[in-house]
Amino acid sequence: MDIYSVLERVRAQKPLVHHLTNWVTIYDCANIVKVFGAAPVMAHAAEEVEDMAALASALVLNIGTLTPDFIESMKLAAKSANKKGIPVTLDVCGAGATKLRDEKCFELLDQVKIDVIKGNASEVARIAGEKVRTKGVDSSEVEKDLVELAKTLAAKRNATVVITGKEDIVADKAKHFIVKNGCEMMAHVVGTGCMAASVIGAFSAVEKDLAKAATAGLCCYEIAAEIASKDSAGPGTFKEKLFDNIYSLDKGKIEKLQRVE
Amino acid sequence: MDIYSVLERVRAQKPLVHHLTNWVTIYDCANIVKVFGAAPVMAHAAEEVEDMAALASALVLNIGTLTPDFIESMKLAAKSANKKGIPVTLDVCGAGATKLRDEKCFELLDQVKIDVIKGNASEVARIAGEKVRTKGVDSSEVEKDLVELAKTLAAKRNATVVITGKEDIVADKAKHFIVKNGCEMMAHVVGTGCMAASVIGAFSAVEKDLAKAATAGLCCYEIAAEIASKDSAGPGTFKEKLFDNIYSLDKGKIEKLQRVE
Amino acid sequence: MDIYSVLERVRAQKPLVHHLTNWVTIYDCANIVKVFGAAPVMAHAAEEVEDMAALASALVLNIGTLTPDFIESMKLAAKSANKKGIPVTLDVCGAGATKLRDEKCFELLDQVKIDVIKGNASEVARIAGEKVRTKGVDSSEVEKDLVELAKTLAAKRNATVVITGKEDIVADKAKHFIVKNGCEMMAHVVGTGCMAASVIGAFSAVEKDLAKAATAGLCCYEIAAEIASKDSAGPGTFKEKLFDNIYSLDKGKIEKLQRVE
């Protein structure tokens, strides 16, 4: 996959990425989009989300600190995005933790068109209505199960499904990719999962094949993380260097480090 | 202009700067005020904003993630600030993007006294009811147009008007300043615009000539940014070093680097 | 006190720490909990806070950007925490500034069981219904007064009371500790107070003696801050290095640097 060319398009087109996201990582979601060269906008008032989504090239929803009103704004924004034909990414952040989260995820999935569903293994399993089968002893067996899960959900919801983890799985009903980039330090900083959804949103604005878009975005993001972690004393400096390294990511680094199957 | 003496007063008087701002950059708005030596407080409940504004020495409003309720709290806070006679700065963040933003900006401008109106060229043009005339080929012509725009709006609204950009224009009905400090990296980090409004707020608390206050604040902020950017590998470390350099800003650096006309 | 062993338990047990906190420092509150090795979750919808608190091992409440609705969610979460028997920490952030803050603090203290009350000297004095007696000229006299204040409030509210400052006082009705760690730079960054409450919450999840838990947490946090400040050019880099140094804190550093009486 020519990952750099997708990044180049993000930088050249500077797509507007409208977010309705959580209050914990809202700054990081905006900042990573900007550092990738795109243009973030965060707006959640029911009175303006339709107008804002109509200006945007992609929409990102994240239920991390949901309330019922906020979900209603998400629906309005998503319907506007659907009407305009721009891709909608949903981070099912915390699905499975409370009844409210599950119910609202299903409402969103049933009432609007979600183009990319993104979560970790247990969140996506919950959305798929299944338990995660993690009985496999070696990681290749777990991975096989998760690919199956992603593909089934992709077919059921007519969406691209992204399962993040040590290895990320990106699947639509016809194909799948595995992104093997990334580093352990990402798990020690709040917001790396939310930022992944924002990156997918930014890349979805410039590449119609959404599985390819998500894969390219995750690969770039995680290569930058790998470089940053090598040069960091801990999670604080790591996060700042992550932004530095996204900003300075180039063709040479991507071609040398990309591990996508 | 003796810019350092205004900074000295901020550091000596440590004014309380009450904010009703957006949820994306709220931390940075608070932090930059603190790093400049003043005291930030963020409070938005309708039930307490009047009390909080009455304790403060300046009020900063930012509509970046507005809702109708939030705007009502802003009005209460601003009326309390008006009553006490402390300066009110409004960042018309995103004006022109949606109908809601325009309407609410005009409501604020019509119903309370706003002392400093701050935005980028297109936002301020919208608030002035004009299109930005950017037909000028060389930047000096654009600048001339923007100074005119700022002065006209300043006279119409009896306020100081700040147009941020590569060069910042600060105008009241009688005079104007141009701040030529700043660096390109500021455009690659989320929050530099919002922080500018907070800095203006902090400086407005200690200098009655609000055009001078805004100019001094922007100049200090952007000198620190220039120093930070020279020593940064990218936008992540730049932002942290920006805070470091504001904290350690001194008379010598300001006198050497200030570019105000 | 064997402080390192409490930190070890946080890292080993990775307790889930549910927060209803303010919108300014919400990221830092989550991140410091994660960097200490625990698991933060931020959730405030009335419809899910009971469920979320029931999953958690500690609850942290912070009224920094309170609204009446938000306080109602806090009560639901706290009642659920009380029922489950997990410790509830309340940061009385800004108590004394407005009538709303005072009223809502008292409502919380009266209607639910708060296990740890945390604030600075003036905030805690307000909650205790007293003026801070800071007439003492030398700091040892002030300290003696504050220990008395903390003990009286601890007995009245059947809680552990934490007064943060240059020296932190931790008291229950039977005993008290004084944490003499920390550094001046902590006062120049927004969020160090809020993060202290989150740290106390994380440590309260693994140590039943809450005065000991709070003391151990503050000591670890402030040792990391001391190390970070020695290596920082200012408040921006300080904050990132604080996270680095919490992450890499070990037995040797704690034993060498701890100053608890």
pLDDT at A137 over 50: no
Q: Of the candidates A157, A143, A163, A178, which has an alpha carbon nearest to the alpha carbon of residue A111?
A: A157
Span A209-227, pLDDT tens digits: 999 999 999 999 999 999 9
| Contact: B35, C235; criterion CB under 8 Å | yes
Span A97-108, pLDDT tens digits: 999 999 999 999
Residue to substitute from C44, C98, C186, C188, interface B, most B β-carbons within 10 A: C98
pLDDT for B153: 97
Q: Beta A160-164 vs A116-120: how paired, if at all?
A: parallel
pTM, two decimals, is 0.96
Span B209-229, pLDDT tens digits: 999 999 999 999 999 999 999
pLDDT for A191: 97
Is the CB of C191 inside 8 Å of chain B's CB atoms?
Answer: yes
Across the interface, of A28, A68, A97, the residue whose CB is closest to C52 is: A97
Confidence of residue A202 (pLDDT cuts 50, 70, 90): very high
| Contact: C28, B23; criterion CB under 8 Å | no
C-alpha span between B9 and A60 (Å, rounded): 44
Across the interface, of B41, B52, B240, the residue whose CB is closest to C236 is: B240
| Cβ atoms of residues C3 and C204 within 8 Å | no
| Contact: B237, A245; criterion CB under 8 Å | no
Average pLDDT over residues A71-92: 98
Q: Which residue in B has a C-alpha nearest to residue A237's C-alpha?
A: B237
Give the tokens for residue B7. Answer: 């900074």
Give the CA distances from residue B57 to residues B53, B89, B225, C223, in Å, rounded to whole numbers and listed in that order: 8, 12, 26, 35
Q: C182-203 burial string, b = 16+ CB within 10 Å, else e?
A: bbebbebbbbbbbbbbbbbbbb
pLDDT for C134: 45
- Number of separate domains in chain A: 1
Confidence of residue B143 (pLDDT cuts 50, 70, 90): low
Is the CB of C100 inside 8 Å of chain B's CB atoms?
Answer: yes
Q: Residue type at A198?
A: S
Across the interface, of B66, B101, B235, the residue whose CB is closest to A244 is: B235
| Contact: B23, C27; criterion CB under 8 Å | no
pLDDT at C135 over 70: no
pLDDT at B182 over 60: yes
| Cβ atoms of residues C217 and C35 within 8 Å | no
Gap from C76 CA to chain B (nearest CA, Å): 20
Q: Which residue in B has a C-alpha nearest to residue C69's C-alpha?
A: B45
pLDDT at B82 over 70: yes
C-alpha span between B172 and B157 (Å, rounded): 10
pLDDT at A139 over 80: no
pLDDT for B1: 86
Domain region containing C82: 3-257
Is the CB of A122 inside 8 Å of chain C's CB atoms?
Answer: no
Query: Across chain A, which distance is largest between two alpha carbons, in Å?
Result: 51
Q: Which residue in B has a C-alpha nearest to residue A248's C-alpha?
A: B234
pLDDT at C19 over 60: yes
Residues of A in contact with C48 (CB under 8 A): 66, 98-101
Average pLDDT over residues B115-136: 82
Is the CB of C65 inside 8 Å of chain A's CB atoms?
Answer: no
Q: Which residue in A has a C-alpha nearest to residue C38's C-alpha?
A: A188
Residues of B in contact with A244 (CB under 8 A): 232-237
Q: Residue type at A130?
A: E
Whichever domain contains C106, its CATH number is 3.40.1190.20
Gap from A101 CA to chain B (nearest CA, Å): 22
Gap from A23 CA to chain C (nearest CA, Å): 7
| Contact: A235, C26; criterion CB under 8 Å | no
Give the CA distances from residue B24 to residues A41, A77, B56, B187, in Å, rounded to whole numbers and listed in that order: 10, 18, 23, 16
Average pLDDT over residues B132-155: 73
